[in-house]
Structure 1
Amino acid sequence: MRGALLALALLAPALLGAAPGGSGETISLAGNGPGQRLDVTLAQVVDPAGPVGPEPSGSDRLVATRFRLENTGTAVYEDSPARAAHLLDTAGQRFTGNDVPTTAGPAFPGTVTLEPGSAAEGFITFRIPADAEPAAVQFALNGGLADDVGHWSLPLPRAVPG
């Protein structure tokens, strides 16, 4: 059953029309509204990411992902990057991003506003079980609800805080 869930998690983006990505690859994504378009790059994965403040509860750990967002559309981008990102593990579980600060680097603010032609970079953090193995990261505009989904298979080259 676990293998079937992993296969489904990894094949779902292809079946749903998600754009595949690799290490540092930029994927152009459309939003659901007119003129909404971003070039999205997953630049780095930090696993585990050290918390700023209290340690994660229980047997959880933090995984931080650094994204670069560039507004290549004609509309202003105003959205929550954390809600737009998801991490899939090898067991088929899906985790939504959050803006928890880590020692990996600065998180995106709760809402990012980008005029056409402008860009921003920041971290999106995922709280996952300590024994989970990340398999992929996804990103979609409109709070993660747009039809166009970027998909990056992991592992990317990882930075381990030292």
Structure 2
Amino acid sequence: MKKRFVALVAALALGASGCAASEVTTSPDRPGDEAPQQARQVAKVGDKITLKGTDENLKVAITVLKPPRTVRSTDGSKPTRKGMRFVGVQLALENVGTAVYDDSLTNGSVLLDAEGQKYNTILVTEIAAGPVVDLVKMAPGKKRKGYLVFEAPKGVRPVTLQIALDSGMAPQTGEWALG
């Protein structure tokens, strides 16, 4: 019985991991752009990338509006350790698909520094810079704007933002160079 259970779990894991190809998209959206991939520029602050979810009808256009900056919490949250700070990145989201987008962006987003070290989002409900986007529920055609908040060491400069829909489980990850 135990051997069959282990075999079943292994088969399910292999089947689930093979369902969708994984892709990192670094090119910004360009209307009517048919240029070869190598000729496209890397997405940066101000650029929009449309990401696909695990549901083929889920598509969300994400634009990084402002580069990362230190932000102050107004909900009483403090960094988890001495020497850390909160870093906010302002985004605009638009549901351009036909399915409702219902997700937590914090689960599928990371900042990277020049050495490739990653910094995760942190649950902060209010910051002085503006509204926070975390739990998002958007009907098709709807828009949201706000900050994703991360925790990073003081003195570390984030250079890349990565976002994947469906709590990071979507087959496509958007990547923006931050400056």
TM-score of the aligned structures, taking structure 1 as reference length: 0.79
* Consecutive unaligned residues in structure 2, runs of 5 or more: 1-21, 28-42
| 1:24 partnered with 2:31 | no
| 1:45 partnered with 2:52 | no
- The offset of 1:96, in angstroms, is 2.1
- The 1-side partners of 2:26 and 2:77 are apart by 36
- The 2-side partners of 1:54 and 1:138 are apart by 24
Number of aligned residues: 140
* Consecutive unaligned residues in structure 1, runs of 5 or more: 1-14, 156-162
Residue identity matched to 2:138: L
Residue identity matched to 2:62: V
What SS does the corresponding residue of 2:24 show, helix, strand or coil? coil
Residue identity matched to 1:24: G
99 and 69 in structure 1: CA distance in 2 versus 1, 3 angstrom threshold: farther
Q: Could you tell me which residue of structure 2 aligns to residue 35 of structure 1?
A: 57
Q: Could you tell me which residue of structure 1 aligns to residue 15 of structure 2?
A: none
Q: Could you tell me which residue of structure 1 aligns to residue 173 of structure 2?
A: 149
**1:88 alignment partner, one of 70, 87, 112:** 112
Query: What is the root-mean-square deviation of aligned Cα atoms in Å?
Result: 1.8
Alignment of 1:51-90 (within 5 A): 51-52=73-74, 53-56=76-79, 57-90=81-114
Q: Could you tell me which residue of structure 1 aligns to residue 149 of structure 2?
A: 125
TM-score of the aligned structures, taking structure 2 as reference length: 0.72
- The 1-side partners of 2:123 and 2:92 are apart by 15
> 1:73-120, CA deviations, whole angstroms, 9 ceiling, x for partnerless residues?
011100001222110012221122234132111112x42111011111
139 and 129 in structure 1: CA distance in 2 versus 1, 3 angstrom threshold: same
Q: Which structure is higher in RCO with an 8 Å CA cutoff and minimum separation 6?
A: 1
Q: Could you tell me which residue of structure 2 aligns to residue 6 of structure 1?
A: none
Q: Could you tell me which residue of structure 2 aligns to residue 103 of structure 1?
A: 128
- The 2-side partners of 1:34 and 1:76 are apart by 12
What SS does the corresponding residue of 1:62 show, helix, strand or coil? strand
